[in-house]
Amino acid sequence: MTYAIEAEGLVKRFKETEALAGVDLGARRGSVLGLLGPNGAGKTTAVRIFATLLRPDAGRARVAGHDVVREAGVVRAMVGLTGQYAAVDENLTGTENLLLIGRLLGLPRRAARARAAELLDRFQLSEAAGRAVKTFSGGMRRRLDLAASLVGRPSILFLDEPTTGLDPHSRGELWDLLRGLVADGATALLTTQYLNEADVLADDIVVIDKGRVIAEGTPDQLKSQVGGQVLELRPVLAQDLARAHTVVAGAAGPQARIEGETITAPVKDPELMPAVVRTLDREGIAVGELALRRSSLDEVFLALTGHRAEPGAPEGNGGASVRDDESEPRNADGELRKAVTGP
Amino acid sequence: MTATTTTITAPIGKSGRVRPLDGLRQTFTMAWRSLVAVKHNPLELVDYSITPIMFVFLFTYVLGGQMAGSPEAYLKYALPGIIVQNTLFMTMYTAMALNTDLTKGVFDRLRSLPIARSAPLIGRITADLAKHVWAMLLMIGLGLLLGFRITGGPEGFLLGAVLLVVFAAAVSWCAVLIGMLAGDVEKVQAFAFTLIFPITFTSSAFVRVETMPGWLQAWSDVNPVTHLSDAFRGLLLGGPVAEPVVWSLVWAAGIAVVFYPLAMRAYRAKT
C-alpha cells in the first residue's frame, strides 16, 4: 500500500528527553489519520518533522513519497500546516494575511486576492475580512489559520490540535470544515488530545504515549480491542455504592471502579450481566440505572497506557491530557474535572 | 481536492530549491507585510513618529536653555544626536517584531511554505530600514521648523542619511540575535533599554565629551555613538568629518562581522 504520509522508526531527542522513540505510522491517500495522545506524548514533534520544521535524529519521514529532509522544498510545496497556536499576523487583516501567503506562493496579485476572498467566504470570515486579526475571536483565528494553510491548495494537511482551547460551538464548526476538506480528497494528519475528536474525524488512529506508538487501528477496532463493552451501574441509594461495587467486582474482577455515583467495569463475558443482576437482587440493592455500552476511547486509553486519561498528569506543560469532554478550557481543567465527576 | 485543483502554485524548480529572483520577490512581499501592518497598529505610529517628535521638543525646549543658552543653539548641537539615539532605539523594534513572529508561531507557518529561508528576515530588516528613514525625515523636518539649518548642503544631508542607514543595518544584526534569543517581547524591551540608554547617554550625542569626568571621557571617546553623532552632525552642519565617519564605518563593519554570523546561526536554529 502506498501511504501519503509515512514514518519509519522516527526518533527525535531534545537534550535529555526523547520526544519520539521510534515511531512508525502511515496515512492512506485521502484518509484522515488521527494521532492521539496526551500532552508531551510527541504529537507536535511528529507534525513538525513532517512539515519540515524539525529534522529527525533517526528514522525516515516521507510525504507523498518525498523525504522530508532531503526533499524539503518539494514537501513544502504540497503540504499545509495548521498549528496549535493560530499562526496569523495579528496586525494584518484577514484578507491581508491570506494575500501574504498567496503572494509568497507566487500567485499574481489578482489571483491571490481572488483566492483570499474565496477562502474567507468558505470559512465564513467575509464580514470580518477587513478587520485586523487582533479583533478576531479564538474560533475566527483558527478558521483563518486553517484558511491560510489552504491558500496553495495543498493535497496533504497537517492539523496540530486544531481545536484545542475552542468552545464547543467553534469546535463543531471547525469539524464541519475539516470533514469538507477530507471529502474533497485531501489526506490529513490530525493530532488531538480529544478522544471524541479522533473518533469523529479519523479513519485510522495511532495512539502514542511518551514517544511510542502504543496502539493503532480504526476507532472501532481500538474500542473492541479493549474488551468490547462496559457495564454501568448506579444504585438508587448512595449508601449502597460500596456493596454494589463489591458485587460487580466479584463478577467482573478488580477493574470495577466507582466513578461518582456510578460503578463501571469492562465486560467480556455476556453471561456477566445477568449474574450481576441476580446477585444484586439477592443482596437487596435497588438499582437506579444499569446499562451495557461499548467502551469509549477514554477507557481504551486507560487500558492501553495504564493511566487514566485525565488532567493532572505531570506531562508537558499545563498537565492537560487526553479526555473526551468538550467544554473545558485548556488550563483550568484539573479543577473543573473534579467539580464535574467528584462525589 | 480533485486532481485538477491540486496544482502546486509555489515557485519551486524540479530540485525543490527557491530560485533567487523568487527569493527576492518573497523578500519584498515580507517587507510589504511589515509596512502594511502599521495601518492597523497605531501604536507603531507612536513608536516611529510620536516618540521622535516628543524627544525633539523635550530636548530643545526643556534642556536647551540650560545646556546651550537657548533652545535654538542647543537644537543645533543636539538634533543629530537625538536622531542617532532614536535610530538605535528603533532597531529594537526589529528585535521585538522578530521575537513576536517567533513566539506566536508565524515563523512556523512561513517556514512550512516553499519560500527562501532568508525572506522573512531580510524582508523585516528592509521594511524597518524604511521606517528609520521615515523617522529621520520627520525629525529633520521638525528640526527645520524649530530653527535647525542644514549648513552642510544637500550632499552632506544625503551622506549623513546613508551613514545612518548603514549603521542601523549593522546594528539590526545585533537586534536579530536578541530577538531570536529572548524568551518574550518584554525581555527584549528590558534588555534594549538597559543597553541603549547608557550607551547613547555616555556619548557626544547630547553633551560635549569634554564636560564629562576623565574616566568617562575615556569610554566616550571610543563609544560608537560618539563617532556616529559627530559624523552625522558634521555632515549636516558642515565641517571636518573624515575621522568620525571612518570610525563609524569601522564600528558598523565590526558590529556586522560579529553579530551577522551569530544572528544567522540563531535564526537558523530557531526558525
Residue B7, pLDDT > 70, answer: no
Residue A31, pLDDT > 60, answer: yes
Cell numbers that stand for B168 in this block: 542601523
Q: Tell me, what's the pLDDT at A10?
A: 93
How far apart are alpha carbons A68 and A81 in whole angstroms? 14
Q: Residue A18: which residues within 8 A CB-CB, separation 6 or more?
A: A11, A12, A211
A51:B7 CB<8 A: no
Q: Tell me, what's the pLDDT at A305?
A: 67
A153:B22 CB<8 A: no
Q: Pick the residue of A66, A76, A145 with the most B CBs within 10 A to test the interface with B by mutation.
A: A76
A103:B112 CB<8 A: no
Q: Tell me, what's the pLDDT at A320?
A: 34
Which member of A72, A101, A186 has the closest CB to residue B1?
A: A186
Residue A124, pLDDT > 50, answer: yes
Q: pLDDT band at residue A1, thresholds of 50, 70 and 90?
A: low
> How many angstroms separate the CA of residue A53 from the nearest CA in chain B?
7
State pLDDT tens for residues B44-71: 778 888 888 999 999 999 999 999 999 9
Strand residue runs (E) in chain A: 3-14, 17-28, 32-36, 58-63, 66-67, 79-82, 156-160, 187-192, 204-209, 212-217, 229-235, 257-259, 262-267, 287-294
Surface of A (202-231) touching B: CB under 8 A: none
Chain B residues whose beta carbon lies within 8 Å of the beta carbon of residue A181? 1
pLDDT mean over A100-113: 95
Q: Tell me, what's the pLDDT at A299?
A: 66
How far apart are alpha carbons A50 and A43 in whole angstroms? 11
Chain B residues whose beta carbon lies within 8 Å of the beta carbon of residue A88? 106, 109
State pLDDT tens for residues B139-167: 999 999 999 999 999 999 999 999 999 99
B109:A88 CB<8 A: yes
Q: Is the ipTM of this complex over 0.95?
A: no
Cell numbers that stand for A66 in this block: 518525498
B18:A88 CB<8 A: no
Number of CB pairs, chain A paired with chain B, less than 8 A apart: 116
How far apart are alpha carbons B169 and B94 in whole angstroms? 11
Nearest chain B residue (CA) to A86? B105
Chain B residues at the A interface, defined by Cβ less than 8 Å, are 1-3, 5-12, 15-18, 22, 25-26, 29-30, 32-33, 36-37, 40-41, 44, 104-106, 108-115, 119
Surface of A (21-50) touching B: CB under 8 A: 48
Structural domains of chain A in order of their starting residue, each with its CATH number: 3-218 (3.40.50.300), 229-294 (3.30.70.100)
> How many angstroms separate the CA of residue B241 from the nearest CA in chain A?
42
A107 touches chain B (CB under 8 A): yes
Q: pLDDT band at residue A159, thresholds of 50, 70 and 90?
A: very high
How far apart are alpha carbons B113 and B11 in whole angstroms? 11
Nearest chain B residue (CA) to A71? B16
The highest-confidence range among A256-270, B105-119, B214-228, by mean pLDDT, is B214-228
Percent of chain B surpassing pLDDT 70: 94
pLDDT mean over B116-138: 93
State pLDDT tens for residues A291-326: 877 666 666 666 776 665 444 333 333 333 333 333
Q: Tell me, what's the pLDDT at A328?
A: 33
Q: Tell me, what's the pLDDT at B216?
A: 94
Q: Tell me, what's the pLDDT at A306?
A: 65
Residue B244, pLDDT > 90, answer: yes
Q: Pick the residue of A104, A110, A136 with the most B CBs within 10 A to test the interface with B by mutation.
A: A104
A155 touches chain B (CB under 8 A): yes
The highest-confidence range among A129-133, A259-263, A323-327, B248-252, by mean pLDDT, is B248-252
3-state secondary structure A299-315: HHHHHHHCCCCCCCCCC
Nearest chain B residue (CA) to A69? B16
Surface of A (53-72) touching B: CB under 8 A: 53, 71-72
What mean pLDDT is reported for chain B? 90
Q: Pick the residue of A105, A115, A157 with the most B CBs within 10 A to test the interface with B by mutation.
A: A105
Domain ranges for chain B, please list them.
18-270
A105:B36 CB<8 A: no
Chain B residues whose beta carbon lies within 8 Å of the beta carbon of residue A156? none
Which member of A86, A93, A184 has the closest CB to residue B40?
A: A93
Q: Does residue A163 contact residue A170 with C-beta atoms inside 8 Å?
A: yes
Chain A residues whose beta carbon lies within 8 Å of the beta carbon of residue B42? none
How far apart are alpha carbons A5 and A62 in whole angstroms? 6
Chain B residues whose beta carbon lies within 8 Å of the beta carbon of residue A71? 16
How far apart are alpha carbons A102 and B14 in whole angstroms? 21
Q: Tell me, what's the pLDDT at B3?
A: 36
What CA–CA distances, in Å, run from B214 to B80, B218, B220, B221?
24, 6, 10, 10
A85 touches chain B (CB under 8 A): yes
B30:A106 CB<8 A: no
Q: Nearest 5 degrees, angle CA A31-CA A36-CA A37?
A: 165
How far apart are alpha carbons B207 and B52 in whole angstroms? 19
pLDDT mean over A220-230: 71
B40:A83 CB<8 A: no
* Bridge partners, A12 (sequence order): A20
Q: For the sheet with A262-267, list strands across it.
A: A257-259, A262-267, A229-235, A287-294
B40:A76 CB<8 A: no
* Bridge partners, A32 (sequence order): A188
Which member of A89, A105, A186 has the closest CB to residue B37?
A: A89
Q: Tell me, what's the pLDDT at B271?
A: 67
A132 touches chain B (CB under 8 A): yes
> How many angstroms separate the CA of residue B42 from the nearest CA in chain A?
10
How far apart are alpha carbons B152 and B234 in whole angstroms? 8
> How many angstroms separate the CA of residue A130 from the nearest CA in chain B?
10
